[in-house]
Each structure stands twice: as C-alpha cells, then as structure tokens.
Amino acid sequence: MSESSDISKHAGETVLCVDDDKTMLLLLSRQLAPEGYQLLMAGSAAEGLKLLEEHAVTLVISDLQMPEMDGIEFLSQVRSRWPDTVRILLTGQSDIDATIAAINEGGVYRYIAKPFSRNDLLLSVRDAVNYQILASEKNRLTLLTQDQNRQLLAINAELEERVEARTAELRKEHNRVLVASEKLKAGFAVSVKVFAQLIEFGEVHHAGHSRRVAQVARRIAVHMRLDRNQIQDISISALLHDIGRFGLSPAIRSKAANELTPAEREEFKSHPARGAMVLMAVPELRVAGRVVRAHHERFDGMGYPDGLVGQDIPLGARILAVANDYDELQTGAMGAEYFEREQARDFIQDWSGRRYDPLVVEAFSALFSSGGLNLAEADNLTIRELVLQPEQIETGMVLSRDLVSRDGLLLLAEEYVLDDEWIGMIREFARSQDPSLVIHVDANKTIHNPRAILSERS
C-alpha cells in the first residue's frame, strides 16, 4: 500500500483551505478530495474565520500572502480561538522571515514551500491530521483520567469515612468486650478469694493463710520476671492450694503437721492430689491443678505425692512450696513452735537445694532483704496508693489491695472498681461493724482521678 493511500484511513476529517488564489484552492481540492477529506474552501482570511465558526475543523491550510489579513495574523487568530485545530502554512521560498514569524505567532505545525509535490502535500496533511487526532485523544484520556481520579478520590474518601465509622464501631465493641472481660476476671478473682476464705474457716492455723501465701508467691514470681499469665496462675494456685483439705477429717485439719499420727500423716498426704482432681475439672484451673498437686514435692525428690525431682516439679509449685512453708512456720501449722520472720527465712535458706529450688530461695531472700515480704506493706510495691476513709472513696476508684475486715473477712478483692452500691455498703459496714476500716486505692487507675484527695492528704 502506498503512503498516499494510507491517508484514507482519516477520511471524514475536515480540512479548511484558505487562499486568495482560486487556482491554488482548486489544486488543493483536486489533490485532497480523492483522499476522503471533508474540504472547506475560503478565498480570504475573513471567510476562513467565518467557516471556522460554523464547522469543526481538524486542519487549516493557509497561504501566507493574502490581502487585508495575511496568513500570519489569520493563523494567530486560529491559534487563539481554536487551539486544537492544526495549522499548516503555504509559503514561497523567499518568505523565510515571514515564515518564521508565522511559526512563532501562529503556532504553525508545519510549512509547505511552493511549489510543492502532491506527495509532500499528502504526507504533510496526513501527519498533521495524525497529530491532531493523537492530541485530541491525549486530551480526552487526560480529562477521562482526571475525572476518574476525582471519582476515585470521592470513593476513597467515602470508603475512609466508612472504614473510620466501622473502626469506631469495632473499637467501641472491643472496649465493651474488654470491660466485660475485665468484669469476668474480677468476678473470677473474687470468687477464688472467697472460696479460699471458706476453705480456711474453722482452722486455727490457717486463718488468712491462703491469702498471705498468694501474696508472697506472687511477689517471688514478679521478682523472677515471670510473665503475667504465669503470675496469675501462681496466685490462683496459692489461693486454692489447700482445697484438698476439705476431704480430710476435722481432727487432721485442726492439728499442726508434726502432731499427726502416722496414719493421719498418710491421709494428710492425699490432699494435694485430691485438690488437683477438683481443680482439673475446671478448664480455667487446670494449670493451677498441676501446681496444687506438686506443691508438697521436694527439690531432692523426697516429697509427695509423685516424688518429682528438681526441674520436673512445675515452677509454680516450687514457688508455692517456699511461700507456703514461710507462712506455716510463722503460724505454727508446721509444728508447735511459732517462728519469727527471720527464723522462717533462715529455715527456708537452710533447706535450699533439698526441700526448695535454690533459684526460688535466691529470689525469696532478695525480697526478704529489701522488705518486699513484709505483708504489712502494700501488696504491690510499685503502685502509687491512697489510703482512704469510707467517706472519701468515690465511684470509679480501683482497689489496690483486698478489702478485709478486722476479723479477716474478705469484703472485696484487689482491682475491684468501686460503684455506688458497694460504696454505700462499705460505709454502712464501717459504721456498724468496723469503724477502723480503711480502703486502699490505686491512684493511677481511677476513673475519677483522686488527685484532689491526694493533695489534701500530702
């Protein structure tokens, strides 16, 4: 296929020819018409402008030398009014300066020097039409892209709003779940502590024993840098470690360990396994059950019920063994003699490597030396605590210690969030039964920040 015939694929494109020479217009018509272009002919620049106002023109071919308005001024107006229309200038060989001016002022795409061949004309026209078509398509695509970008931005903005709204809903739901979870945990903790208190009713040597053992065991676990879940499991195990004593006869439960007969001692040794069986039935307490079963094992393998040795004993049980014996030595539960704190410490240290894990004893000794095992101090030595009278407590405050009456009755567990109902009951209990009752709250965990109370007391 010839180059000239390629131009036919642009048939239908409108071309305006402007020349005051009718012969030139006729020549242009004869050469371009066979290619399928829609032709418009104008004998002057003014006539050409009128036709441009009436028709959509792809290409303008204009002569340079015309009366009244030359090609430079004409093409300059075309450029200004119809910038998408491509412009070609017909010029004589001697009109170089004028041609340059036309290129600069009229934005001429190409100029054709007279005389010209038919092939040069058709190639120039084809290129100009291609250029215009590509430019129009580029503009169309640019506008389309801009419009699509605007739509995408609008869609993205809407999606972001929806995501933010959904995220806010999920966050609220998550917070509701967290609050419900914390309430369940708090309720579970209270239940465990109350149950531990019931276990000890009627036992002279064990009043408050489980709570004190849990405090010591928890501090040892914290000092050993155990994770939060491990510490929680050890605390629960300590609170429930004597649950198996329910199955023992009242005579055994009322005696110190060294007062038991051989037969009673054998029955007494069954209580860790009994307690484990009770706890293992509850999925949330299975870890505690394994610790409770092993809390009378000895590091040297001479303990019961399984004769475990060293690291085979669960770490929680090794910690619980130290905490349990430390309290029982001071309360007379291990023998007729009541040990002082320092004597109980010495006993623990003397049996390191035999009854007790040396690493646990090391942590225990470090805490003892620093005062961390003085149960008269705050349970959590790292928190900032307020000690308040019942009249000073407010809704939203969080207990930093168990609330215990003077006769050892557990009223509320540590980390309980006070509400109006409980505040009323606490104040009534203090008025009627325990005027000396004080409440310990965490200064960093209160919904209504009690800084005013703190400043008043400082």
Q: Yes or no: say if 213 and 324 are a contact pair by the CB < 8 Å rule.
A: yes
Under DSSP, is residue 84 helix (H, G, I), strand (E, B) or coil? Answer: coil
Question: Would you report the helix, strand and coil content of the chain in percent, each value rounded to 5?
Answer: 60, 10, 30
Share of the chain above pLDDT 70, in %: 83
pLDDT of 396:
87
The half-sphere exposure of 443 on its side-chain side, counting CA atoms within 13 A, is: 13
pLDDT higher than 80, residue 189: no
The half-sphere exposure of 164 on its side-chain side, counting CA atoms within 13 A, is: 6
> Residue 115 CB: number of other CB atoms within 10 A?
9
Q: Which of 89, 83, 88, 62 is nearest to 136 (CA)?
A: 83
pLDDT of 458:
40
The pTM for the full model equals 0.51
Class of the CATH-defined domain 201-377: mainly alpha
**How does DSSP classify residue 8?**
G
Model confidence over 59-71: pLDDT tens digits? 999 998 899 899 8
Under DSSP, is residue 443 helix (H, G, I), strand (E, B) or coil? Answer: coil
Which distant-in-sequence residues (6+ apart) come within 8 Å of 413 by Cβ? Answer: 186, 189, 190, 193, 399, 402, 403
**How does DSSP classify residue 285?**
G
Segments making up each domain of the chain, as ranges? 3-137, 201-377, 380-458
* Most confident listed range (140-149, 205-214, 309-318, 392-401): 309-318
Nearest-angstrom CA–CA distance, 197 and 207: 8
| Distance in angstroms between the alpha carbons of the first and the last residue of the chain | 103
- The strand order across the sheet containing 14-18 reads 38-42, 14-18, 59-63, 86-92, 110-114
Q: Which of 376, 275, 375, 381 is nearest to 323 (CA)?
A: 375
Q: What angle do CA 411, 417, 420 make, to 5 degrees?
A: 80
Residue 103 pLDDT grade (very low, low, confident, very high; cuts 50, 70, 90): confident
Q: Yes or no: say if 402 and 211 are a contact pair by the CB < 8 Å rule.
A: yes
Residue 308 pLDDT grade (very low, low, confident, very high; cuts 50, 70, 90): very high
Q: Yes or no: say if 440 and 387 are a contact pair by the CB < 8 Å rule.
A: yes
Q: Yes or no: say if 230 and 317 are a contact pair by the CB < 8 Å rule.
A: no
Under DSSP, is residue 337 helix (H, G, I), strand (E, B) or coil? Answer: coil
Which distant-in-sequence residues (6+ apart) come within 8 Å of 307 by Cβ? Answer: 297, 301
Beta bridge partners of 90: 63, 112
Nearest-angstrom CA–CA distance, 258 and 184: 41
Locate 93 and state its tokens: 């060989």
Which distant-in-sequence residues (6+ apart) come within 8 Å of 421 by Cβ? Answer: none
Tell which phi-psi region holds residue 310, choosing left (phi > 0), alpha (psi between -120 and 50) or beta: left
pLDDT of 123:
92
Nearest-angstrom CA–CA distance, 257 and 249: 14
pLDDT of 412:
78
- β-strand pairing of 403-404 with 385-388: unpaired
Q: Which of 26, 31, 39, 25 is nearest to 124 (CA)?
A: 31
Q: Of residues 250 and 324, which shows the higher confidence score? A: 324
Average pLDDT taken over every residue of the chain: 83
Query: How far are the Cα atoms of 94, 250, 287, 403 from residue 391, in angstroms, in the given order?
Result: 110, 42, 41, 15
Nearest-angstrom CA–CA distance, 373 and 383: 16
CATH of domain 3-137: 3.40.50.2300
Model confidence over 440-458: pLDDT tens digits? 998 876 554 444 444 443 4
- β-strand pairing of 403-404 with 410-412: antiparallel
Q: Yes or no: say if 457 and 386 are a contact pair by the CB < 8 Å rule.
A: yes
Nearest-angstrom CA–CA distance, 330 and 438: 26
Q: Name the residue with tokens 């470090």.
A: 366
Backbone angles phi, psi at 105, to 5 degrees: -90, -35
pLDDT higher than 60, residue 167: yes
Q: Yes or no: say if 196 and 246 are a contact pair by the CB < 8 Å rule.
A: no
pLDDT of 179:
63
